[in-house]
Amino acid sequence: MVFLRSEEHLERWLAANGWEPGSSMSATKLNALARAWWWSRLDPDWRPRPPAESQTILDGLGLTGAFWQLA
């Protein structure tokens, strides 16, 4: 994971390293993902969620496409 300040910075960074883009998101979207993904992690009865439920979180945040497919 690499944190960059703008789309322009991302484009320069990719070009400088000769890499193709993967997936990117804003800090706001990353925050929403972290909150949705981990909100119950400290509950005493926490259990890992089924993959379908995890996929629902990703889909609900608009994180779709091959990169975001869990299965």
Asked if residue 23 belongs to a domain, the reply is no
Residue 67 domain-assigned (yes or no): yes
Domain with 48, as residue range(s), is: 28-71
What pTM was estimated for this model as a whole? 0.76
Residue 5 located in a structural domain: no
* Dihedral of alpha carbons 8, 13, 14, 15, sign: positive
> Positive or negative CA dihedral for 19, 20, 22, 26?
positive
Residue 43 lies in a domain: yes
pLDDT at 3: 84
Write the pLDDT tens digit of every residue in 25-63: 888 999 999 999 999 999 999 999 999 999 999 999 999
Question: How many domains does the chain contain in total?
Answer: 1
Amino acid making up residue 6: S
Q: For residue 55, is it within any domain?
A: yes
Q: What is the pLDDT of residue 32?
A: 97
- CA dist 31 and 37 (Å) reads 10
28 or 23, higher pLDDT: 28
Is residue 17, in this structure, part of any structural domain at all? Answer: no
Q: Is residue 6 part of a domain?
A: no
